Amino acid sequence: MPTYDNPVISGFHPDPSVCRVGDDYYLVCSSFEYFPGLPIFHSKDLVHWEQIGNVLDRPGQLPLPLPGAKASGGLYAPTIRHHDGRYWVINTNIDGGGNFVVSAERPEGPWSDPVWIDLHGIDPDLAWEEDGTCWCAFSGPAGGINTARIDPVEGEVLEGPFATWSGSGLKYPEAPHLYRIGDWWYLLIAEGGTERGHSVSVARGRSPRGPWEGAPANPLLSHSGTPRSIQNTGHADLVEAPDGSWWMVLLGVRPRGFTPDVHVLGRETFLTPVEWDADGWPRIGPVPESHAAPGGAWHPVPAPPARDDFDDSALAPHWISPFARPAGSWSLTERPGRLVLRATGPTLDRPGYTFVGRRQQHHDCRATAEIDPGTGRGGLCVRLDEAHHYELEVGNGEAAVVARIGPLRQTVAARPVPSGPLTLTVTIRTSDLVPASPELTDGGTTGPDTVAFWIGDPDAPDARPLAELDGRYLSTEVACGFTGRVIGMYATEGTVAFDWFEYAPVPAPPA
Q: Looking at 174, 237, 261, 393, which residue is catalytic?
A: 174
Q: Looking at 15, 268, 449, 493, which residue is catalytic?
A: 15
Name 279's Cβ contacts closer than 8 Å, sequence gap at least 6.
Answer: none
CA neighbours within 13 Å on the CB side: how many for 149? 10
Catalytic site residue 174? yes
Catalytic site residue 391? no
Strand partners, 149: 135, 159
Gap between the Cα atoms of 476 and 266, Å rounded: 7
Look at residues 488, 479, 485 and name the one whose alpha carbon lies nearest to residue 321: 488
Beta strands (DSSP E) in 115-223 are 115-117, 127-128, 134-139, 145-151, 156-165, 174-181, 184-191, 199-205, 213-214, 221-222
| 412 three-state secondary structure | strand
Please answer whether residues 257 and 443 qualify as being in contact, where contact means their C-beta atoms are separated by less than 8 angstroms: no
Gap between the Cα atoms of 104 and 127, Å rounded: 17
Gap between the Cα atoms of 29 and 33, Å rounded: 13
- Edge-to-edge strand ranges of the sheet holding 37-43: 17-21, 24-28, 37-43, 50-56
Please answer whether residues 426 and 382 qualify as being in contact, where contact means their C-beta atoms are separated by less than 8 angstroms: yes
Question: Burial level of 152, CB count in 10 A (0-12/13-18/19+)?
Answer: buried
Please answer whether residues 340 and 331 qualify as being in contact, where contact means their C-beta atoms are separated by less than 8 angstroms: yes
User: In Å, what is the CA distance from 172 to each residue of 175, 194, 258?
Assistant: 9, 9, 28
Residues annotated catalytic, as ranges = 15, 174
